[in-house]
Structure formats: structure tokens, C-alpha cells
Amino acid sequence: MIELKAPAELEAMRAAGLIVASALKNVTEAVRPGVSTAELDEIAEQTIRDAGAVPSFKGYHGFPASICASVNEQIVHGIPSTTQVLADGDLISVDCGAILDGWHGDSAVTVPVGPPDPADQALSDATRSAMAAGIEAIRPDGRLTDISHAVESAVRVAERADGRRYGIIREYGGHGIGRAMHMEPFLPNYGKPGKGPRLRVGMAIAIEPMLTLGGEPTEELADGWTVVTVDGSRAAHWEHTVAITEDGPWVLTAP
């Protein structure tokens, strides 16, 4: 079942989304050489709790932290650690979620540590542009894979502009969200348009492309969470929670 929300419920999700946006803003401002990912986690959790919400991630299937902090070849689900200390030239993706009054918000950003490497910056920009294209593809009575196709098409446009190939991660993608963090439907970041469930007013979907500078194969580390590129290439991850309204998409996690 795909959960449909009333307007007041989407407003409640917007409140949760604004807390996530605030947490990511504070974390982004703290990213610098010498800072550990555990310190970033503390900043996010404090921001969320000070706003009267609770972290979505902490305790989720046993996950031990309030953010996923994925550095360089880590794609998603990186566990914050006191021993993971950021250095000049690193690239970190931070995924964050919050629950307020039973409603979830979920968003992710990718941030360079120090002056960005041009290839890393292009990767992050391509990922963010793909997310934006997916958001723009949302139309009531459209199909789910209209979003998927828009994401993939935007990646191909970026490839031509940047003169390089980007790997689109296939095992992971977007998802429904609302009273739970992960709900139906699953949203691939590639595919032909016009397939899957119809997009209905009141649906909320987390749109989250993940791209690499190399290939698409992934593997999960022994910690049971951290997903990395098999070839060691760097990855980027951008995400917003988006509601479908009669007027089109409403980005609930935008500041």
C-alpha cells in the first residue's frame, strides 16, 4: 500500500523536513579538515533534539548513529566514528532523518572537505542536478518511473557536458516516506518512463540519486552497513523528501 497524506499531514511532514534541513545546514558548516564524522553526528543529533524531534536513523534496525556519514568511496550508510577524521580533499555525503509527531523527513547532501577537486565537484553537481530533474518530473497522474527516467536522463546530460561517465547506483534508490522512513514504492534512479504506480496527490517520495566516478558495482563492508564502490571510485549522494500536490512537487526538506 502506498500511503496518501491529507494536506495537514503534509504540513506536519514539512515541519519534520525543516528540522532535517537545519541539521544538515549545521553539519555542512562544521565540515572541515580535522573534524571527525562522530563530531558531525553529535551536531546533527543535538539540532534534531533541540527542535523537539528524534533522529530517524538512530536505532533503525540497529544503526548506531543519527546520520550516515559516507566518505570518498563510501556511497551510503557510513557509520560515524571518532577515528574517521576528515582531511583536505575528502568528499563526504551526509544523510539525515528526523521524526516529529510521528512524521519523517529525510535528506542528504554531499560536501567537499577543503577546496574541492574539480572531478569531485562535477560528480556532486551532476548528482544534485539529477535529483532536481527527478523532482521536476513529478506530476499528478504521472508514473513513478517518469521520475526514474528524468534522473537518468539528467545524468547523461551531465556526462556529455563533463566529458566523463558516471556510474548510477542500482541497488539503492528513493522510497516512499511518511509515518515510516522507508515505505512503498521503491524508486529506481534509472529506467524507461511510463511504468509503475501512478503518482497521486498526497504521496511523499524521497528522491535520492547516488553516482560514482567509476563503475556501478557495490559491496557492503563487514560492519553490516557501509556500502562502498567495488572499484574504489568516489561517490556522491543527494536527497530530498518531496510531496505530490495538485500544483506539482513540494520539496519538504528544502530550507
pTM here?
A: 0.97
Chain Cα centroid distance, residue 31: 17
Q: What is the pLDDT of residue 88?
A: 98
Burial of 117 (0-12, 13-18, 19+ CB in 10 A): middle
Going by C-beta distance under 8 Å and a sequence separation of 6 or more, which residues neighbour residue 163?
none
Angle between helices 144-162 and 118-136 (to 10 degrees): 150
Predicted confidence band of residue 173 (pLDDT cuts 50, 70, 90): very high
Task: Please report the sign of the dihedral spanned by the C-alpha atoms of residue 195, residue 235, residue 57, residue 223.
Answer: positive
Distance CA 49, CA 183 (A): 24
Distance CA 239, CA 110 (A): 10
Please compute the mean of the pLDDT values over residues 5-17 and round it to a whole number: 98
Going by C-beta distance under 8 Å and a sequence separation of 6 or more, which residues neighbour residue 201?
4, 140, 244, 245, 246
In the predicted structure, residue 105 carries a pLDDT above the cut 90: yes
Reported as a single tens digit per residue, the pLDDT across 122-161 is: 999 999 999 999 999 999 999 999 999 999 999 999 999 9
Going by C-beta distance under 8 Å and a sequence separation of 6 or more, which residues neighbour residue 182?
175, 176
Burial of 170 (0-12, 13-18, 19+ CB in 10 A): middle
In the predicted structure, residue 1 carries a pLDDT above the cut 90: no
In the predicted structure, residue 179 carries a pLDDT above the cut 90: yes
Reported as a single tens digit per residue, the pLDDT across 18-59 is: 999 999 999 999 999 999 999 999 999 999 999 999 999 999
Q: Are 25 and 94 in contact (CB under 8 A)?
A: no
